[in-house]
Structure 1
Amino acid sequence: MELDDDSANGLLRSFGRQVQALRIRRGMSKAELGAELSYSQSQIGSIEIGRRVMQSDAIDRADAVLDAGGVLIAMKEQVERAGFPKFFRDARRYEAKAVELHVYATQAVPGLLQTADYMQGVIRMERPQPPAHVMEQHITSRLERQKLFDRDPAVSMSFVVEENLLRRTFGNLDMMREQWERLLELGRRHHIELQVMPTACAEHAGMDGPFTLMETDQGQRIAYVEVQRVSRLHTDRKHVRELELKYGIIRAQALSPSASL
């Protein structure tokens, strides 16, 4: 089911009402449920009115704690998607099933690699600026995506980022230092390769902009392209193959993973 913004907001409100009804049936306060799920009382309140997205592992625990009989778990995938911006929701379905993921980034550190503070800094730059609760939803959902790093078996990943985005500071130097340290930590993992495309590189195959390549557990190969909050998923083999070829050249032109770190 494709989710527009109204449908997504309605789904989050419906899920929240379901949590509230189950909580009341069990005779639990918001604080008591929060203690079970590692949420504060106010965060449970935000979930129940549809202003906050409950993380997937918390949904599993809530279903058990509230004796929901699988009702909440059945809504989990749609709830997770509803927390993302409209233009990314379909791509998220493929990303969640990916066994390989490759990203070329030009404007900001890729969302999968961002720290929470960096995320907040990037989202605050958006114009028009989203409401505070939407910003919170997007940060929560983006952090949820990062569970991909710890999946077993590991997802094979590579990232090529432009040098200029590492030098652009959102917020303050301490925040950027934390982000750089996060990149170093992830770049040293055995299943992740991180490369930097130097600004001074004379030959550059990535002039058409950023993109993401994914392969699912079913062997389907997908390309995702996004610009100015407009996105497109490509599944036709010819177009995906062209971007795969381009990505291979970009990786060859960039610094090696060890030189990049």
Structure 2
Amino acid sequence: MSADGESVDEAGWDVEPEDEIASVVEALGHQQKRWREGAGLSAAELGEAIGYGEDQVRKVERGARIPRPEYLDAADRVLGANGFISAMKEEMAKARYPKKVRELAKLEGRAVEIAAYGNHNLHGLLQTGEYARALFGTRQPAYSPDQVERGLAARMARQAIFERSPVPDMTFVQEEVTLRRPIGGRMILRAQLERLLELAQLPNVTIQVMPTDCEEHAGIEGGRIQLLKFGDGTAVGRSEGEFHGRPVSDPKQLRILELRYGMIRAQALTPRESLAFIERVRGET
């Protein structure tokens, strides 16, 4: 979720589209306008029929607002669009996600390998919805309820990667503290640990634990690491402690991250030991 937040109107019902998805939103607006005019309704009459103001209807038709699913369903029903307007719900939902999340989801969608080390929180692809919601709730200054919902929806949508075909190879190294911190309470943490155990059974997923009492730790000063490799041989990586935290694709810079991540994996518990460790922590929770 973008720390910058997004433009949300006072009612929290829609957001302003960003440039790269504006054409999709405009196409929806043009389609709605054609259906409305074909039905012989003014913007005010359509708004009254679906429970929204005339100004909101006109903003959607200008491509200046991204409508929520309930708006699309209501407009489709009133205009007799036979599902053509409702069919845009998935695209509009994606458009509502923060730009940084959309960019990350695109990269993950292309990746054939994903590698990540987490030192404060569990990686977003591993999180349950309840854990993610609780995590968003800890942010200060606080996110608005609408920002939380959009961030949560975006994070959960990214997890469709586990059903992708072909599936990417994914490795995760998590600090012990991320398995023990009871974000959201003990019940949410326990369900989260059970989710980790489920994911660890997938043939393309490897989860390792870096125990707190490990004396040697190659990532102690580097912060989180994420590496994504693509089918064409290219890759992109990011680390909080290297290259000012910005994404890098230069082979020399990637090599630094790859070496560090490889050392972290070697110092962490093995996958089998990690599975037993997670099961033990779950039993203690």
Length-normalised TM-score, structure 1: 0.74
**Structure 1 residues 79 and 218: CA distance shift in structure 2, 3 A:** farther
Q: C-alpha separation between the residues in 1 aligned to 2:67 and 2:181?
A: 31
**CA 1:51/1:122 → structure 2, altered by over 3 Å: closer, same or farther?**
farther
Distance apart, 1:158 and its partner CA: 0.3
Alignment partner, residue 281 of structure 2: none
Indicate how the Cα distance of structure 1 residues 23 and 220 shifts in structure 2: closer, same or farther if over 3 A, else same.
farther
| Equivalence map 1:37-186=2 (5 Å) | 50=66, 65-66=83-84, 72=88, 76=91, 80=94, 82-84=96-98, 86-186=99-199
Query: Partner amino acid for 1:18?
Result: L
Change over 3 Å in CA distance of 1:237–1:148 after alignment to 2: same
* Matched residue, 1:37: none
Find the aligned partners of 2:161 and 2:16 in 1 and give their Cα distance. Answer: 25
Match of 2:227 in 1: 213
**Pair member with larger Rg:** 2
Mapped pair 1:15 → 2:25? yes
State the shift of 1:216 in Å: 1.6
Question: How far off is 1:87 after superposition?
Answer: 4.6
CA–CA separation in structure 2 for the residues paired with 1:103 and 1:258:
18
Given residue 178 of structure 1, which amino acid in structure 2 is its aligned partner?
A
Q: CA deviation at 1:65?
A: 3.0
Structure 1 stretches lacking a partner, 5+ long: 28-40, 55-62
- Distance in 1 separating the partners of 2:33 and 2:272: 52
Aligned to 1:34: none
- Residue aligned with 2:104, SS: helix
Contact 1:52 1:136 in 2 (8 A): no
Q: Is the partner of 1:212 in helix, strand or coil?
A: strand
Pairing 1:197–2:210 present: yes
CA deviation after TM superposition for structure 1 residue 9, in Å: 3.0
Gaps of 5+ in 2: 9-14, 40-49, 71-80, 276-285
- The equivalent residue for 2:283 is none
1:259 partner letter: E
Deviates more, 1:17-26 or 1:120-129: 17-26
* CA apart distance, 1:130: 1.2
Flag as ranges the 4+ runs of structure 1 deviating above 6 A: none
- The structure-2 alpha-carbon separation of the partners of 1:50 and 1:231, relative to structure 1 and needing over 3 Å to count, comes to farther
User: Cα gap change, 1:100/1:81 in structure 2, threshold over 3 Å: closer, same or farther?
Assistant: farther
Contact 2:66 2:95 in 1 (8 A): no
Contact 1:205 1:246 in 2 (8 A): yes
Kept in 1: contact 2:66–2:96 (CA 8 A): no
- Give yes or no for contact 1:91–1:233 (8 Å, CA) kept in 2: no
Using a 3 Å threshold, how does the CA distance of structure 1 residues 67 and 17 change in structure 2: closer, same or farther? Answer: closer
| CA 1:167–1:236: 2 relative to 1, 3 Å | same
Distance 1:218 1:139 in 2: 31
Q: Is the 8 A contact 2:228 2:235 kept in 1?
A: yes
| Distance in 1 (alpha carbons) for counterparts of 2:255 and 2:69 | 36
Letter in 2 for 1:66: F
Specify the alignment match of 1:38 in structure 2.
none
The AA in structure 2 aligned to 1:206 is: G
Do 1:87 and 1:231's aligned partners in 2 also have CA atoms closer than 8 Å?
Answer: no
State the distance in 2 between where 1:127 and 1:15 align.
31
